[in-house]
Copies of this chain bind each other. A is one copy, B any other.
Amino acid sequence: MRNIRMVLEYDGARYRGWQRLKDSDKTIQGKLEAVISQMVERDTEVIGSGRTDAGVHAKGQVANFFTSSDMPLKEIQEYINHYLPKDIAVKAITEAAPRFNSRLNAIGKKYTYYIWNQKTPSVFQRDYSYHTPNPLDINKMKKASEKLLGTHDFLAFSSLKKSKKSTIRTIEEIVIEKNQGMLTISIKGDGFLYNMIRIIVGTLIDIGAGKEGIAYIDEIFKRGERRYAGVTAPAQGLFLEEVYYD
């Protein structure tokens, strides 16, 4: 059996997220599995590096599938891109080692959140960013973000009710920049809890807007409950940028 690894780009707006659902054909995994199963003429599972929520986009999602087809890689990519809707694309395709698993072997991920921080809305970024007209203090946000670096229990920054699994994660890097009205927050870590990036972003926006001080982060960690953190920033600003493997 061949193990085919793909790098995927998708516009999440029309989808209920990555993960296949029984009652809906509006998922990225579902669309891919339908096209690939048709191509190889048998039911084929596509393994993604992890779920993305409804409305979240990806520039570098990684997924793999097993097949006994002997179609050349280039043809596989062209076939899939031809039959996929235009808001999903296979950017790159390679043969992976037989034991490679997109989810189990992922050692880290980078997400970027886009905030359009101008009074006037942006026509061309309207579906790919969150519009926050009040000016955000990027230096305060940077200082607050340093408190998130390293290994912490991020339960309070997640929408998990409770969790049997560990909620300890490590954030390696947070880069906050502003470029011609677009403020971006890039977060790199070994893994993220449900809604964790979007709650971190909502919290950093509160700090940038002056509603909260930098110590707000310490307080949320100390209290350890979701309700003390900021709101969950909207899905449309979030992009899965890259998945890391050894």
Interface size on A, residues (CB 8 A): 21
Which of A63-71, A121-129, A143-151, A200-208 touches B? Answer: A121-129
Chain A 69-121 residues near chain B, CB threshold 8 A = 77, 81, 86-92, 120-121
In the assembly, how many copies of this chain are there? 2
Interface string of A43-69 (1 = CB under 8 A from B): 000000000000001010000000000
Complex partner residue of A120 from B59, B81, B120, B126, CB under 8 angstroms? B81
Q: Which residue of B lies closest to A90 (CB)?
A: B120
Q: How far is the CA of A9 from the CA of B86 in the complex (A)?
A: 25
**Does any Cβ of B come within 8 Å of A18's Cβ?**
no
Q: A121, B87: Cβ atoms under 8 Å?
A: no
Check A91 against B120 for contact (C-beta < 8 Å).
yes
A221 contacts chain B at the CB level, 8 A cutoff: no
A126 to B59, CA, bound (A): 14
Determine whether the beta carbon of A128 is less than 8 Å from that of B121: no
Residue in contact with A123 in the complex, picked from B9, B122, B126, CB distance below 8 Å:
B9
Min CB distance A90 to B, Å, is: 7
Question: Closest CB of chain B to A35's CB: distance in Å?
Answer: 14
- In contact, B87 and A123 (Cβ under 8 angstroms): yes
| A123, B81: Cβ atoms closer than 8 Å | no
Can you list 12 A-B contacts (CB < 8 A)? A9-B122, A9-B123, A10-B123, A11-B123, A81-B120, A86-B123, A86-B126, A88-B123, A89-B121, A89-B123, A91-B120, A92-B120
- Interfacial residues, chain A to chain B (CB-CB below 8 A): 9-11, 57, 59, 77, 81, 86-92, 120-124, 126, 128
9 additional A-B pairs beyond A9-B124, A86-B126, A90-B120, beta carbons within 8 Å, are: A11-B124, A57-B124, A59-B124, A77-B120, A86-B121, A86-B123, A87-B123, A89-B120, A89-B121
